[in-house]
């Protein structure tokens, strides 16, 4: 069974710090990896997608992928209180349906 594991948190970081969110996946042939942000009562919003090993940066967000270790992470630099949300890691294989992790709750304290 394909699984995506995340620490449920909450992860608490002070404003301005770097938040590091981690995710592991079980299906070795997974091709595509996504990070979504979900505010309470709202639907998920795509933050980053990553397909190749290494880092991908977009503004304050950096996604890191290590296929050998089956590990994907999201770094949020200069964390803001508005970043407080649940972050969902999602994995797909050959363009098929997404498998979601349970999400990590992030709290940024001002």
Considering only the stretches 13-21, 36-44, 58-66, 67-75, report the one whose residues sit in contact with other proteins under the rule CB under 8 A: 36-44
User: 70: which DSSP letter?
Assistant: T
Report, in Å, the least distance between residue 99 CB and other proteins: 8
Asked if 26 interacts with other proteins (CB under 8 A), we say no
| 37 alpha-carbon distance from chain centroid | 8
* Interatomic CA distance for residues 81 and 1, integer angstroms: 36
Q: What values do phi and psi take at 82, rounded to 5? A: -70, -10
Considering only the stretches 20-28, 57-65, 76-84, 87-95, report the one whose residues sit in contact with other proteins under the rule CB under 8 A: 87-95
* Interatomic CA distance for residues 36 and 72, integer angstroms: 13
Positions touching other proteins (CB under 8 A) are 31-32, 34, 36, 41-46, 49, 88, 90, 92, 95-98, 100-103
């Amino acid at each position: 069974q394909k699984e995506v594991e995340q620490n449920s948190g909450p992860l608490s970081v002070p404003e301005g710090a770097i938040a590091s969110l981690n995710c592991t996946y079980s299906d070795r042939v997974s091709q595509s990896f996504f990070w979504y942000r979900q505010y309470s009562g709202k639907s998920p919003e795509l933050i980053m997608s990553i397909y190749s090993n290494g880092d991908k940066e977009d503004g304050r967000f950096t996604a890191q992928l290590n296929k050998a270790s089956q590990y994907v992470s999201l770094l949020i630099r200069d964390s803001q209180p508005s970043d407080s949300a649940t972050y969902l890691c999602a994995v797909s294989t050959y363009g098929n349906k997404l498998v979601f992790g349970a999400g990590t709750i992030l709290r940024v304290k001002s």
